[in-house]
Amino acid sequence: MIVAANLKANHTRSSVKSYLDAVSSFIGENDIKTRAVVFPPATALCPSRGNITVGAQNAWAAENGSFTGEIGSEQLDEFGIRTLLVGHSERRHIMGEGLDTTKRKFDFFAEQEYEIFFCVGEPIEIKEAGFDAVMTYIERQLDGVDLNYSRLILAYEPVWAIGTGKAATSGDILSVHSAIKGFCDKPLLYGGSVKIENAGEILSLEGVDGALVGTASWISDRFCALLNIADNIEKGLGQ
Ligand code: PEP
């Protein structure tokens, strides 16, 4: 199981340090086996710790160059970052990143053998059009992405569930995850309003290999609680 924290544009260098210290101690003291991944803002990137992978929320598909406001692999290398989020819905829908850009990023960083957390998920109008429309939309987002890439992790994150407090229902998650698993056997996380109250149910679902968490991960104690829930499920101790 993997539980990943997307800190978005929250936290500073110093608060990320305290955050990682707290999470790292929690994992060590509680013998947590669930894998913890943290995506801090770019200004707070730092090397991974033994028990926490630190990844980047975004990078341009280049080593370096004239890409104002972006960072490339050279800047990631400085911190030994080898894990990257690609295609998050906020990049797609707020920053206007299109299918070409996400694909170019995937290709560039896969070529460099980065671990890639690739996000897919439909906006509300597609969900309202029905399950077939949802799967067609997701398949289009994955078009051209090498689903056999060894360091690929997928995250199903319905746009309408992100940051809204309203997670997808277990039925919705089960049907989309099972359809994706039908053509891709990579680890598949669910993301979209996962929190302490619903994590046990979501993480126990067939085809859910972990969670990508935004809001509920921003306070280290809450992220630790989510790790603990996932770990208990993984160890067969219940929710
Ligand atoms: C996310 O941004 O990846 C996310 C899942 O956010 P939230 O948990 O706040 O819905």
114, part of any domain: yes
pTM above 0.95, yes or no: yes
What is the domain range of residue 17? 2-234
Query: Residue 132 region, left (φ>0) first, then alpha (ψ -120 to 50), else beta?
Result: alpha
Q: How many Å lie between the centroid of ligand 1 and the Cα of residue 187?
A: 18
Q: Which protein residue's CA is at the shortest distance from atom 6 of ligand 1?
A: 214
Task: Give the CATH number of the domain where residue 145 resides.
Answer: 3.20.20.70
Q: List the catalytic residue out of 88, 90, 115, 177.
A: 88
- Count up the domains in the chain and report the number: 1
Residue 202, pLDDT score: 98
The verdict on residue 36 lying in a domain is yes
239 domain residue, yes or no: no
Question: Does the active-site annotation cover 157?
Answer: yes
User: What is the distance in A from the centroid of ligand 1 to the CA of 207?
Assistant: 19
Burial class (CB in 10 A: 0-12, 13-18, 19+), 41: middle
Residue 238 binned pLDDT confidence (cut-offs 50, 70, 90): confident
Contact in structure between 144 and 177 (CB atoms under 8 Å): no
Residue 67, in any domain of the structure: yes
* pLDDT, tens digit (0-9, with 9 covering 90-100), for 120-170: 999 999 999 999 999 999 999 999 999 999 999 999 999 999 999 999 999
Nearest-CA residue for ligand 1 atom 7 is 214
For the chain, the 3-state helix, strand and coil shares in percent, each to the nearest 5, are 45, 15, 40
Asked whether residue 159 is domain-assigned, the answer is yes
Q: Quick one: pLDDT band at residue 2, thresholds 50, 70, 90? A: very high
Residue 213 exposed, middle or buried by CB count within 10 Å (0-12, 13-18, 19+): buried
63-80 pLDDT per residue, tens:
999 999 999 999 999 999
Contact 230, 200 (CB under 8 A): no
Domain for residue 148, yes or no? yes
Q: State pLDDT tens for residues 212-225.
A: 999 999 999 999 99
What mean pLDDT is predicted for residues 50-60? 97
CA 136 to mean position of chain CA atoms: 21
How many angstroms is it from 157 CA to the middle of ligand 1? 8
Q: Is 11 a catalytic residue?
A: no
Asked, for residue 21, whether it belongs to a domain, the answer is yes
> Which one of 90, 97, 122, 157 is the catalytic residue?
157
Spatial neighbors of 148 by CB under 8 A, at least 6 apart, are none
Q: Which of 121, 160, 167 is nearest to 142 (CA)?
A: 121
3-state class (DSSP) for residue 191: strand
Residues lining ligand 1, judged by CB closer than 6 Å?
A: 6, 157, 162-163, 191-194, 212-216
In a domain? residue 149: yes
**CA–CA separation, 103 and 122 (whole Å):** 17
